[in-house]
A and B are shown apart, each in its own frame.
Chain A
Amino acid sequence: MKLKALIQKEFRRFFGDPKLIITLILPGVLIYLIYSLMGGLIWDRPQTHDYNVLVLGESAAVEALFETTFGEELTLTHTDDKDAALEEVKQGNVTALISFSEDFDNAVASYDPSSGLPAPQVEIFYRSADDTSSAFYTAATSLLSAYEGSISNAFDVNLGDAQYDFSSTSEVIMSVLGGLLPFLVVTLIFSSCMSITLESVAGEKERGTLATILVTSVRRSDIALGKVIPLSCIAAIGALSSFLGIALSMPQLMGMELGGVFVEYAFGDYLLLLGLIVSIVPLIVSAMTVISTYAKSVKEASSYSGVIMIVVMVLSLVSTFVSGIGDWVCCIPVLGTVVAIQRILEDGAALVMGLISIAVNLAFTALFIFLTAKMLSSERIMFGK
């Protein structure tokens, strides 16, 4: 009954204030806009290209095939100096370098796959970060494999040991961003939990309205719960908004259709992901409640939580990029969740780890609520000078 009134008060305070709602939803909207924009910039490539391609060695058949396919867009220039040609590709002065192995056409014609001898080779050196270069590479390889198919696997494309790609690919950037997803989710949840909890708990303490509640006969544990429960619900809305912002803009960012990302995971994986994300909200809210109750002012509380936020960010960033972390991390709150989310996204098999992480999050939440109740009864913390 008293708890219910406390919870209702918190909701009423929040949903009666349009400013607070906007600050809650805004991050998600911003993320969506920024990410979509970034995605648009990366993936909107021009429709026509000017391919200026160097050729080492020769193959009348392949060159003719290219010239008829690309037509006006393609200029082929023969060269003998491989090193100089590679340098030109690296510098971006030319689109790509095609290198045919010796006497390519004849070798192809007389190649016997059962002989066990290495097949004649075509190598294409290019730069994937360069839109034109990577477009040419994609088109050329598909042409070549079609050609290869038509003459029964008589040569290989880019099968040597050389490094063919002279820059990190867009895909690499994207996979990094994809790997960052759990980190982003945690960071966003953290910031939405932080702002509302500081405002509500440290704010009330600073304004003296918490003391007014303390002189009533309400139990201290009810006050703690009356903060953590509604604030978690509210923060979950903020987290959901951020999550939707990321999820909806990811496909655009990665240049994929919306469906592509989502169909890969099983329903159970989604439940687990949701459970992880949802269970981390009360954990962070209750941790922030402890800090806010302890601090004398909003300013003090926000400097404490700023430190914690940085620690959490760094740790989860590290766990994102350091592979081979043992399963024991799931016993560490927040960190375990980051790793579990990551594993689910990678290969969808992290049930035990996910469940343990959820349990750990909830256990720590209970601990923090208990601690808050203790602190609310402490005269030194509530009424100390």
Chain B
Amino acid sequence: MEETAIVKAEGLRKTFTLSEKQRKIEKTSQKLKVAVDGLSFSAYRGEIYGLLGPNGAGKTTTLRILSTLIRPDAGDAFVGGCSVLKEGEKVRDKIGFMTSELKLEGFFTPSYLFDFFGAMHGVDKAMLAERKEELFARFGIDRFAEVKVSDLSTGMLQKVSLVVAIVHDPEVVIFDEPTNGLDVLTAKVVTDFLLELKAMGKSILLSTHIFSLVEKLCDRVGIIIDGRMAAEGTLEELCEGKSIEDKFFEIYEGIKGETV
């Protein structure tokens, strides 16, 4: 495969200083926590790449580095060829970042928020109107375009958040725990949306700890354990005929030297 990577991480490392309180919660006496430890991987155009790992593996930290919200202590990452360290603003225009922590102001309508975030990314007005019409129709938001966000159903709210995150037509969509905390219906809204994005030719990078989600969506998987890349490859390469679940625990035991 001679494709160039659309997202490329090179030796990312991130250390957090733990506060007194955090040390108690994590039951450790160490002041420093290495959340991501020399992580490298590549995701390719038009594919869905899944970072699979248990709680605390460093998934969120990695995705935040890629979306320039936090800076790595060492290493660098490139999105569409732009460095997250040196070209933060450019990178932010190339990605749509979604997590459950990013919220929309309940007071406004989907239509207004779409325009607002379009303006935040510097999308021009004509283009914005065109995209709004297309995306709202495609995801069935048009009927709710003028309803306050706080009055929308959870599923519709989720759709609006997703559409608003790609208002600027980003090449790459980064999604931390896409289905976490969602009921089955809303979760399906999200997975369908991601498949739709893939069909539109977008590249997607997501993190999860749910095996079925990886099996359903991902073309390529990276297994993160303790901030390190434990195994990487296409789903078929990696699984060698086993289920992803079995393969994961095999790798996990290999690293931790213990059975779960």
Contact = CB atoms under 8 A, between A and B. Distances in A.
> Among the interface residues A13, A218, A219, which one has the most CB atoms of the partner chain B within 10 A?
A218
A207 interface: yes
Given A216-B120, A383-B64, A208 B92 contact: no
A373 to B, nearest CB: 14
A176 interface: no
Contact of B120 (A204, A213, A379): A213
B157 to A, nearest CB: 13
Contact of B121 (A204, A214, A216): A216
A385 B21 CA distance: 10
Given A217-B90, A219-B89, A383-B70, A208 B103 contact: yes
> Among the interface residues B89, B90, B105, B108, which one has the most CB atoms of the partner chain A within 10 A?
B105
A374 interface: no
A9 interface: yes
Interface in B82-116: 89-90, 92-93, 97, 101-105, 107-108, 112, 116
Contacts of A218: 120-121
* Interface residue tally on B, bucketed by range: 20 to 34
B67 A212 contact: no
Given A1-B119, A5-B116, A385-B22, A215 B107 contact: no
Interface residues of A, number: 27
A17 interface: yes
A2 B107 contact: no
A2 B122 contact: yes
A224 B108 CA distance: 21
Given A208-B102, A212-B102, A217 B121 contact: yes
A16 interface: yes
Nearest to B69: A383
A351 interface: no
B14 to A, nearest CB: 10
A217 B89 contact: yes
| Interface of A, helix, strand, loop or mixed by DSSP | helix
Contacts of B93: 217
A112 B116 CA distance: 90
Interface string A193-226: 0000000000010011101111111110000000
Contacts of A17: 107
B102 A9 contact: no
B92 A217 contact: yes
B103 A209 contact: yes
B66 to A, nearest CB: 11
Nearest to A214: B69
B97 A215 contact: yes
A217 B101 contact: no
Contacts of A5: 116, 119-120
B70 A212 contact: no
A278 to B, nearest CB: 28
Contacts of A385: 16, 19, 22
A217 B71 CA distance: 16
A218 B97 CA distance: 14
Contacts of A211: 69, 101-103
Given A2-B119, A379-B71, A216 B92 contact: yes
A275 to B, nearest CB: 33
A219 B89 CA distance: 8
A219 B97 CA distance: 17
Given A217-B90, A218-B120, A13 B69 contact: no
A382 interface: yes
Contacts of A215: 67, 69, 92, 97, 102
Contacts of A207: 103, 105
A5 B114 CA distance: 12
A12 B117 CA distance: 15
Contacts of A217: 89-90, 92-93, 120-122
A209 B67 contact: no
Contacts of B90: 217
Contacts of A214: 69
Nearest to A207: B103
A383 B60 CA distance: 11
B213 to A, nearest CB: 22
Interface string B161-188: 0000000100000000000000000000
Nearest to A219: B89
A207 B100 CA distance: 11
A2 B105 contact: no
Interface string A1-41: 11011100100110011000000000000000000000000
26 contacts: A1-B119, A2-B119, A4-B119, A5-B116, A5-B119, A9-B116, A12-B112, A207-B103, A207-B105, A209-B103, A209-B104, A209-B105, A211-B69, A211-B101, A214-B69, A215-B67, A216-B120, A216-B168, A217-B92, A217-B121, A217-B122, A219-B89, A379-B70, A382-B69, A383-B64, A383-B69
Interface of A: 1-2, 4-6, 9, 12-13, 16-17, 204, 207-209, 211-219, 379, 382-383, 385
- The 4 A-B pairs at the shortest CB distance, nearest first, are namely A5-B119, A208-B103, A216-B120, A379-B70
Given A208-B102, A214-B69, A218-B121, 18 more contacts: A4-B119, A5-B120, A12-B112, A13-B105, A13-B107, A17-B107, A208-B103, A209-B104, A212-B102, A212-B103, A215-B92, A216-B117, A217-B90, A217-B93, A218-B120, A219-B89, A379-B69, A383-B64
Interface of B: 16, 19, 22, 64, 67, 69-71, 89-90, 92-93, 97, 101-105, 107-108, 112, 116-117, 119-122, 168
